[in-house]
Structure 1
Amino acid sequence: MLTGLWQVADLEREGPLEVADAAAAMDACAEAGFTTFDMADHYGSAEEIAGVCAARRGGDVQLLTKWTPEPGPHTSATVREAVERSLERLRADAIDLLQFHAWRYADPSWLDCLFALQELKEEGLIRHLGLTNFDAVHLDMVLNTGIKAVSNQICCSLLDGRASGAMTEVCVRHGVQLLAYGTLAGGLLTEAWLGADDPGPEGLQTWSEMKYRRFVEAAGGWERLQPLLAAIRAVAEKHAVSMANVAARAVLDRPAVAGVIIGARLGRSEHIADNLRLASLRLDAEDREVLAVASGAMDPIPGDCGDEYRRPPYLTAAGDLSHHVGGFPSPYPVHHGPGSRTRAGSGTVWEEVAGFSRAVRTGDHIAVSGTTATHGDRLIGGADPAAQTHFVIDKIEGALEALGGKLEDVYRTRIFIPKLADWEPVARAHGQRFGAIRPANTLVQAGLIGSGYLVEIEAEARVGS
């Protein structure tokens, strides 16, 4: 069990915390055996507080932090600056686990950040590299590309089962571990809310409660939540533990889950005595069935892991991304001319050599050139045809966005593969991304120019179609 420090930012809405007092509250957690703390560069003064606590304890705590950069391009220098800033706050020579968040995949600058972070890991400034809020497709892409990520921190609870399918399969296949947050749904899966009336947005006090009430709404609403709470309570009474213990253990027992993150409001409520009971709690088959039936009666949270930060409905405290980012720059540079054309370039060497653009817009029509899994001088997706296909479609999406379109505007795709044996993983990846769009499509076997490329795709779109 990890102690989460997101609540530091929430507490500091009332004013700055006294760092020494908050560090003392962290120290009490560590004394009880909870020595692993999860935070981020934007959780208020959490990193500074953790640094004071770690200095007092002589390094017997594990400090996990995150880097959530502003959208857009970053250089090796700006990545280093971010890591060194966290190191200074943490008073550490190396970050135990640095977890990276990408705001959108259509902008390939997220890959530049990860490559730079891997270099800092090799240099020794980062002990382990992790991800946060990555979906299954892009976690798989990262790992197939050769980036040595060991974990993915995602929302996972009896209310949110998105991690149970493709995410777990990818983690098991690659040996990657999940760190689960939102396990108690901001406290909504505890005794305080069993039988309680819906507080409505105005009846909630913390960002965490505001955020996870949106999850409740997405899962069917407050009335639908109550049977789930009753099931958790029944299992808790059977074992003479709290509902929080049951909700956390149910997630901790899932395949690929290495740890659950339980939030603490430092100096106010760390729940140390209650959390200690989690170690001895064992759920049996009957318990798991009761909880599975109750969870299954709720509507699935839409999308894949992390989608709440990338597409509507935004299941955040504010219901949008206003607390997180100011806007999104164009994924690719845009050029005008000749004539009325507008062009987007992805910067590959072949665009300059062969004299073409990644995409060209004339009027409301956008044509996207044959696109491979190239980013700069790197091949993305390794030798996995599905991973390459997903990155190709990311590039196509980025080119469309740069010219004012979107993936949903695509009405025609053409796929070229050199190996006939790869047709099915490529087709299935295309289906994952275009299944709701259903463009006209042709897939043919053809020789591709360049080493390692397993797929090339071109697309046509009509903006607003």
Structure 2
Amino acid sequence: MTADSSTSILGSRTAAPLRISRLITGLWQVAGGHGEADVQKCASTIGAYVDAGLGTFDMADFYGPAEDVVGAYNATGKGGVTPLTKWCPKPNVVGAAACADAVDTALRRLKVESLPLLQYHVWRYDDPSYLENLHHLSKLQAAGKIQHIGVTNVDLAHLRLIVGSGYAIASNQVSMSVLDRRAETGGMAAYCAQQGIGLLAYGTLLGGFVSEKWLGAAEPIEQDNWSLMKYKRYIDAAGGWALFQELLGALKTVADRRGVPLGSVALAYVLSLPAVAGVIVGSRLTGDAAAHIAANKAVLGLVLDETDLATIRAAQDKLKPVPGDVGDENRYPPFLSPTGAARDFVDEEALAEVERVVAAGGRVERSSGSAWEPVCNYCRAVRVGDRITVSGTTTRLNFSGAGVIGGRDAEAQSTYIFDIIAGSIRALGGAVADITRTRVLMTHVEDWAAVGRAQAREVGRWGVRPANTMVGGITFVVGPDALVEIEAEAIVGSGKGERLRLGPAGLVKE
């Protein structure tokens, strides 16, 4: 495994690839939660990074003044900065105008004519507006306002869905470290290598926990910034402080053997993995920039041999896997966000109305916006009492009008379908864990395993197993290129209670 190149390429299969530094300076710590940031003082520090060949910076629309900091540096005319920014809209922010406004705002703040990379963050998969926004962003890309489009914290199933829908994705920014190996072992790295998608790794130093400072230190009871709050949850999920200390000890052994800082070994490990285009190392752009730059550059040229890897793996093998896929920490329990909770963006007013009508013995109908619903006089889902029934649901035409969402991939189509089902049930006051039955129609019986994988992932993650019927060999499923149609039933609240499983021999203990 080697990390001997200082730069890498994003969008290698496009007409205009983007060269970036493999060591990316992250500006998350400018966002707040780490103290206030002075824009001009931070901007004055950027030149030192550029001169050191570390001119690639990671930021986002909500990282406080991060984009303004880079814009202030660009205003000097010195150049040499490659800003990789993100747009993280709430689920109800959708449409061509919203996308154009977001891009224009980033261009204005950064003081550039075109965004080298705009990374789109998907908060909720069960709100498909992200696919419409990707379509509008693609049009802005064609107009020259964006050079490359990436995504952040998108799991493997949904990355396959996005790519299968025809979107050209240059990168996926995800958590990767010697402790968080989900992208490495869960198929993400292999898929991205196959598709020419670069992985941009953050959390590689676990917010600063991967350092000599914490080796041999007592377990912290409280953390004084967002990064430490977040990554302490990762450490706990992987088995706790004692096992983390063993991992730090292994990294220290390799570091001493190589004559480099402990953190450099951790960075080199991730840089060596398939498809990793760069690692993001946070900086507040204050204090001793020279020392920070020197510590980061120590990783370049560092080659981990089999002895080094064996030392690291021996400690890794004792850890528990961080649960789920990449990005799950922001969407599903156990939440590994700084606050330990997800941002649900729940429409409390609408849900209150749903419960009021249901309590009065009424009926609530939910539309998904399909053009066929008013034509054929049906809705996506109906709730009466605590019972929700969801209509047969298929994929739909891409927003571009060419092909369908998920392409000709039954598993990708099923992933999208379960997202639509989940969103409909949630809008009616239920949850995926409340699903009691699914029915599946397939045009090709051999797709049963692909559809089953999607159901096992999207429903099974909530710990429930609904009754299920699959029928294959259907001559025609309504919708162009649709391979699968799925309907569902749910009983509101059933997923919250005690769960008991019985097998042929009686009680099943899990």
Match of 2:226 in 1: 207
Give unmatched runs, 5+ long, in structure 2: 1-22, 495-510
> 1:343 corresponds to which residue?
365
Tell me whether 1:74 sits opposite 2:94 in the alignment.
Answer: yes
Q: Does 1:109 align with 2:109?
A: no
- The answer to whether the aligner puts 1:328 opposite 2:349 as a matched pair is no
What CA distance in whole angstroms lies between the structure 2 residues aligned with 1:355 and 1:339?
22
- Over residues 281-307 of structure 1, what are the superposed CA-to-partner deviations in whole Å (9 max), with x where a residue is unaligned? 110011112112212211111111111
Matched, 1:311 2:364: no
SS at 1:246's partner residue? helix
Match of 1:464 among 484, 493, 498: 493
Q: Given the alignment of the two structures, is residue 450 of structure 1 paired with residue 479 of structure 2, yes or no?
A: yes
The CA distance in 2 between the partners of 1:275 and 1:172, in whole Å, is 25
SS at match of 1:278: coil
Give 1:406-425 correspondences, 5 Å limit.
Answer: 406-425=431-450
2:161 is the counterpart of 1:132 = no
| 2-structure distance, mates of 1:328, 1:210 | 24
Partner of 1:99, secondary structure, is: strand
TM (norm. structure 2) is 0.86
Which stretches in structure 1 are left out of the alignment for 5+ residues? none
Corresponding position of 1:439: 466
Instruction: Answer yes or no: is the 8 Å Cα contact 2:397–2:405 preserved in 1.
Output: yes
Deviations 1:158-209 (CA, angstroms, capped at 9, x unpaired): 11111122212321232211000000001101100000001211xx333212
Q: Which residue in the other structure is 1:227 paired with?
A: 246
Matches within 5 A, 1:37-48: 37-48=57-68
Residue 309 (structure 2) aligns with? 288
The yes-or-no answer on 1:365 pairing with 2:387 is yes
1:185 is matched with which residue: 203, 206, 209?
A: 206
The Cα offsets for residues 298-341 of structure 1, whole Å up to 9 and x where unpaired, read as: 111111111111122221222234xxx583338x9998799721
Q: Match for 1:374: what amino acid? A: R
Aligned residue number for residue 278 of structure 1: 299
Write the distance in 2 (CA, Å) between the matches of 1:63 and 1:328. Answer: 32
Query: Is the contact made by 2:127 and 2:423 (CA closer than 8 Å) also made in structure 1?
Result: yes
Cross-structure match for 2:416: 391
Per the TM alignment, residue 42 of structure 1 is displaced from its structure 2 partner at its CA by 0.9
**One-letter amino acid of the counterpart of residue 382, structure 2:** V
The answer on whether the counterparts of 1:72 and 1:328 sit within 8 Å (CA) in structure 2 is: no
The range that moved more, 244-253 or 55-64, is 55-64
Query: What is the match of residue 28 of structure 1?
Result: 48
Equivalent residues of 1:72, 1:329 under 8 A apart: no
> In structure 2, how many angstroms separate the alpha carbons of the residues matched to 1:307 and 1:301?
10
Residues 373-396 of structure 1: CA distance to partner in whole angstroms, max 9, x if unpaired?
126866210111110000000001
Please report how far the alpha carbon of residue 423 of structure 1 lies from its aligned counterpart in structure 2 after TM superposition. 2.4
Post-superposition offset of 1:73: 4.1
- 1:61 to partner: Cα distance: 1.6
1:381 counterpart SS class: coil
1:259-299 C-alpha deviation (Å, 9 max, x unpaired):
10111121225411111211121100111121122122111
* Partners of 2:396 and 2:479 within 8 A in 1: no
Structure 2 counterpart of 1:7 = 29
Shift of 1:10: 3.2
Secondary structure in structure 1 of the residue aligned to 2:177: coil
User: Per the alignment, in what secondary structure is the counterpart of residue 279 of structure 1?
Assistant: coil
Opposite residue 281 of structure 1, the aligned amino acid is L
The more displaced of 96-105 and 48-57 is: 48-57
Instruction: Find out whether 1:94 has 2:114 as its counterpart.
Output: yes
What SS class does the counterpart of residue 170 from structure 2 fall into? Answer: strand
TM-score, length basis structure 1 = 0.94
In 1, Cα distance between equivalents of 2:38 and 2:432: 48
CA contact (8 A) 2:49 2:55 kept: yes
Are residues 313 and 240 of structure 1, via their aligned partners in 2, closer, same or farther at CA, if it must alter by over 3 Å? same
CA–CA distance in 2 between the matches of 1:127 and 1:24?
27
Partner-residue secondary structure (3-state), 2:47: helix
Say what the alpha-carbon RMSD is for the aligned residues: 2.1
Structure-2 separation of matches of 1:250 and 1:94: 33
Change (3 A) 1:412 1:152: same
C-alpha displacement at 1:427, in angstroms? 2.1
Contact 2:150 2:172 in 1 (8 A): yes
Matching residue's letter, 1:349: A
State the match for 2:73 in structure 1: 53
User: Partner letter of residue 390 of structure 1?
Assistant: T
Which of 215, 221, 231 is the matching residue for 1:194? 215
Task: Name which of 152, 170, 173 aligns with 2:191.
Answer: 170
Q: Residue 76 of structure 1: CA displacement?
A: 1.1
Q: Measure, in 2, the Cα distance between the counterparts of 1:126 and 1:118.
A: 8
Deviation at 1:20, TM superposition (A): 2.2
Tell me which amino acid in the other structure corresponds to 1:443. M
Q: Distance in 2 between matches of 1:169 and 1:459?
A: 33
Structure 2 residue identity aligned to 1:220:
G
Does the aligned pair in 2 maintain the 1:347–1:376 contact within 8 Å?
no
- Residue 354 of structure 1 and its aligned partner are, at CA, apart by 0.7
Please list the CA deviations of residues 70-100 of structure 1 after superposition, one character each: whole Å capped at 9, or x if unmatched.
Answer: 2324221111111111110100111110001
Q: Which has the larger displacement, 369-378 or 220-229?
A: 369-378
Q: Distance in 2 between matches of 1:376 and 1:175?
A: 22
Whole-angstrom CA distance in 1 between matches of 2:73 and 2:408: 45
Residue 179 of structure 1 aligns to a residue whose secondary structure is strand
Tell me which residue corresponds to 2:142.
Answer: 122
Indicate the SS of the match to 1:199. Answer: coil
How many corresponding residue pairs?
457
Q: Which residue of 2 aligns with 1:430?
A: 455
